[in-house]
């Protein structure tokens, strides 16, 4: 079989991390079969939001960086579509691989499907059922532009069926006759792979932050619904600060630049207050290996991140989700993740509940066997064999 040329589109932090699972599996098992090209839209561009992951996770530097940067949704997405289209016309790949639900995902889906390049969507089928969430529109449109859809969980697979995708479709697969798969989660592959490495390479990281294992809470906040509404952001942070003081526990917050920018510009007094509080450590975004260590050693996690919610499960930590709904519904049904929105009372109750007692919590394997990337690549190759 001739080699196939695959274009990986990344742009935001979690996509770079996700793409590393596919890159690693190509290098390990399929380097004779697949040529990989990485296109970075430039959606994330700070060193600690982008470059750090290429260095640390040993991913090939992007072959193309479109340098799109930050902008309103329409402008950002349109610049990405235009840049990706140019690359696709030049490279003429056999397929285009997309991850998750960001504007970079959507741009890749539109550019590729309009030019009739098969789109492969990894993390397909996830739904929050909240169409005011920008990611929800990206998910739906990307899934409906795809030829192969890899759903990481049962719920995601069922969502696709609910939207008319047919599991019984047979080859040849096309955008009009797409194939849906229930796989696992490539981020579970990554966690298994990098957890050991994190211990070796970053052993001193917790010490540098003066953190004691099991004696701090990890907090991340970046979702637009929390950051752009400053009343909401303030309520969340004030509630968490009060709880930290009351329970005498440290909150470690590697904050997304979006959150820092808003705190500095619009909640300056609160930001100063947090920085002076001995129970709060606001730090810049950390590398993935550092994040793994923070997750693995914390008492519990408070987050609005999709990826961090799941990683809480991988590391068997209870998770308070600062959202009203989640795509990772298995975690909530399992009782180890609690949806609290930004409601101070609910944050308080769940925080106190989890911080003191975690005896009955169990963390079943919802996310595959750690070899999801290999499975995905073998199915991609099969599609071209059958053509
Ligand atoms: C994006 C994704 C979100 C994902 C998140 C992962 C969309 C619509 N949203 O949200 O789904 O969860 O990435 O982290 O695609 N900024 C910097 N430096 C950077 C990047 C961003 O300062 O390197 C600041 C800018 O002020 C920018 C803001 O963060 O305006 C938001 O960035 P953007 O990429 O638009 O959205 P995210 O909130 O990062
Ligand atoms: N992450 C990281 N450093 C940080 C915060 C997050 O490496 O300071 C990782 C995290 O472990 C997860 C991914 O980034 O794998 C999640 O990204 P993010 O929360 O930005 O986006 P989401 O998953 O919500 O789209």
Q: Where are the domains of the chain?
A: 4-185+368-385, 204-356
Which pLDDT score is estimated for 276? Answer: 98
Query: Which residues are designated catalytic?
Result: 222
Residue 71 alpha carbon to ligand 2 centre in Å? 20
Q: Span 123-127, mean pLDDT?
A: 98
Closest Cα to atom 6 of ligand 2: 291
pLDDT higher than threshold 60 for residue 379: yes
Average pLDDT, the chain: 97
Look up the pTM and report it. Answer: 0.98
Statement: residue 387 has pLDDT above 80: no
* Percent with pLDDT over 90 in the chain: 96
Based on the number of CB atoms within 10 Å of its own CB, is 142 exposed (0-12), middle (13-18) or buried (19 or more)?
buried
**What is the structure's pLDDT at 14?**
98
Supply the pLDDT for residue 1: 67
Percentage of the chain beyond pLDDT 70 is 99
CATH topology of domain 4-185+368-385: Rossmann fold (3.40.50)
Q: Is the CB of 285 under 6 A from ligand 2?
A: yes
Q: Rounded to the nearest whole angstrom, what is the distance from the C-alpha of residue 156 to the centroid of ligand 1?
A: 24
In tens, the pLDDT along 13-35 reads 999 999 999 999 999 999 999 99
Quote the ligand 1 centre to 177 CA distance (angstroms): 33
Q: Which atom of ligand 1 is nearest to the CA of 227?
A: 38
Is 12 a pocket residue for ligand 1 (Cβ < 6 Å)?
Answer: yes
pLDDT tens-digit map of 58-76 = 899 999 999 999 999 999 9
**pLDDT at position 386 over 80:** no
Whether pLDDT at 268 is above 70: yes
Regarding the beta carbon of 308 and ligand 2, being less than 6 Å apart is answered yes
| Location of structure tokens 């902008």 | 71
Q: Which of 228, 256, 310 has most ligand 1 atoms within 8 Å of its beta carbon, as the pocket-test mutant?
A: 256
**Ligand 2 test: best mutation among 16, 190, 291, most atoms within 8 Å of CB?**
291
161 alpha carbon to ligand 2 midpoint, in Å? 29
Nearest CA to ligand 1 atom 14: 13
CATH topology of domain 204-356: Rossmann fold (3.40.50)
Tell me: the pLDDT tens digits for 159-172? 999 999 999 999 99
């Amino acid at each position: 079989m001739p080699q196939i040329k695959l274009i990986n589109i990344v742009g935001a932090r979690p996509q770079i991390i996700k793409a590393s699972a596919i890159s690693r599996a190509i290098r390990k098992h399929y380097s004779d079969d697949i040529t990989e090209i990485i296109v970075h839209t430039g959606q994330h561009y700070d060193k600690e939001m982008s470059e750090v992951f290429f260095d640390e996770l040993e991913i090939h530097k992007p072959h193309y960086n479109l340098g799109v940067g930050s902008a309103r949704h329409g402008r950002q997405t349109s610049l990405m579509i235009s840049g990706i289209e140019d690359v696709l016309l030049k490279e003429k790949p056999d397929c285009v691989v997309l991850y998750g639900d960001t504007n970079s995902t959507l741009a890749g889906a539109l550019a590729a499907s309009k030019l009739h390049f098969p789109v492969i969507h990894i993390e397909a089928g996830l739904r929050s059922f909240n169409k005011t969430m920008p990611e929800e529109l990206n998910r739906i449109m990307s899934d409906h532009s795809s030829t192969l859809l890899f759903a990481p969980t049962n719920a995601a697979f069922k969502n696709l069926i609910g939207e008319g995708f047919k599991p019984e479709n047979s080859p040849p697969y096309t955008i009009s006759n797409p194939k849906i798969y229930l796989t696992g989660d490539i981020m579970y592959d990554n966690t298994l792979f990098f957890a050991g490495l994190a211990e070796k390479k970053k052993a001193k990281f917790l010490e540098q932050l003066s953190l004691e294992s099991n004696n701090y809470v990890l907090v991340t906040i970046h979702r637009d619904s929390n950051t752009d509404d400053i009343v909401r952001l303030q309520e969340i942070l004030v509630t968490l600060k009060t709880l930290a003081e009351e329970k005498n526990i440290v909150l470690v917050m590697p904050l997304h630049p979006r959150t820092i920018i808003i705190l500095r510009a619009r909640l300056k007094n609160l930001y100063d207050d947090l920085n002076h509080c001995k129970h709060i450590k606001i730090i810049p975004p950390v590398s993935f290996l550092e994040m793994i260590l923070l997750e693995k050693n914390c008492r519990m996690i408070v987050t609005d991140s999709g990826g961090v919610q799941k990683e809480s499960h991988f590391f068997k930590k209870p998770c308070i989700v600062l959202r009203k709904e989640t795509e990772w519904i298995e975690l909530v049904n399992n009782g180890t993740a609690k949806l609290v929105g930004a409601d101070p009372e609910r944050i308080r109750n769940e925080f106190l509940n989890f911080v003191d007692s975690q005896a009955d919590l169990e963390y079943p394997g919802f996310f595959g066997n750690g070899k999801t990337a290999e499975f995905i690549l073998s199915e991609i190759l099969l599609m071209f064999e059958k053509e």
